Amino acid sequence: MAAEHTIIDRNAPIGVFDSGIGGLTVAREIMRQMPDENIVYFGDTARVPYGSKSKNTVIRYSRQIAHFLRTKQVKAIVIACNTASAHALEVLEAEQDIPVLGVIKAGAETAAKTTKNGRIGVIATRGTIDSGMYEQVLREIDPEFRIFGKACPLFVPLVEEGLTHDFITEEVARRYVKDLQYKDIDTMILGCTHYPLLRTLLRKVMGEEVTLVNPAYETAIELKQLLQEKGLDRQADRSEPAKYEFYVSDLADQFQEFANSILPYDVAGTEQIDIEDF
């Protein structure tokens, strides 16, 4: 399918998906930076987490979600999940005739611009670290970069338990990043969408000398530029404010509670769908 032959409606929504609730940090950045854009968000809460699943499984899940989002006539797809970006971005780019963005490239490019000593840390789920995807993208930018990855499997459950400012999480964080500190990194990528919610704590643990890169923020910037370049940014009618729709594969109530705690407005309704039908 060749992208140049497809007529895409610039007023259509942006599709954003994640393995669960973490991708809401990406949706939040898109809402902040592109307040006119409509968004359809899908959180795969029935099959979360992706971080401990194999590449083939994550590709299969991502394909189903892309099919679902296309039924909502989205004009672009943002993979707001590092694991799915690592495993499934290339496949979806090849199969879809609309723009597809992952969070990894934007994060890696910003880290590449930020680092002065070429020593970059990446913290993420086991799946993202094992995929080596940040390392691969960073080395394509500069083969001289030294990249140090560290899987932090406890961060997501700690955030979901609300312990974002707790000494338990701080102690866990100190152990996780100890290796990275010995490696003299000057830049650290928050390679999982939950991690920006630990920013204050990680700043304290890492100190001011290490710059934290938030791929959610960088992805929203990249998306904005891409939509403008392609003439796909919404021509907003001021009488019609942006619309946000939320879909999940399980437990809509719990999703909504978390969404309301991190989004700047209250989510009115979240619909549960059977993603295995797509």
Token pair for 72: 């909502």
Three-state SS for 161? coil
From residue 96 to residue 135, what is the string marking binding to its own copies with x (rule CB under 8 A)? ----------------------------------------
Determine if 157 is a binding residue for its own copies (CB under 8 A).
yes
- Interface with its own copies (CB under 8 A), residue from 59, 141, 242, 251: 251
- Interface with its own copies (CB under 8 A), residue from 33, 57, 73, 164: 57
C-alpha–C-alpha distance, residues 126 and 62, integer Å:
18
Determine if 276 is a binding residue for its own copies (CB under 8 A).
yes
- Interface with its own copies (CB under 8 A), residue from 101, 122, 158, 267: 158
Determine if 90 is a binding residue for its own copies (CB under 8 A).
no
Determine if 273 is a binding residue for its own copies (CB under 8 A).
no
- Interface with its own copies (CB under 8 A), residue from 6, 35, 52, 136: 52
How is the beta sheet containing 76-79 ordered, strand by strand?
100-102, 76-79, 14-18, 39-43, 244-248, 270-272
C-alpha–C-alpha distance, residues 223 and 77, integer Å:
10
- Interface with its own copies (CB under 8 A), residue from 3, 10, 32, 54: 54
The 10 Å CB-count burial string (b at 16+, else e) for 151-180 is bbbebbebbbeebbeeeebeebbeebbeeb
How many residues are present in the chain?
278
Name every residue whose Cβ is closer than 8 Å to that of residue 74 and which is 6 or more positions away in sequence. Answer: 12, 13, 14, 15, 40, 98
Nearest-approach distance from CB 102 to its own copies, in angstroms: 22
Report the interface residues with its own copies, using CB under 8 A: 45-48, 52-54, 57, 153-154, 157-158, 160-161, 168, 171-172, 250-251, 254, 276
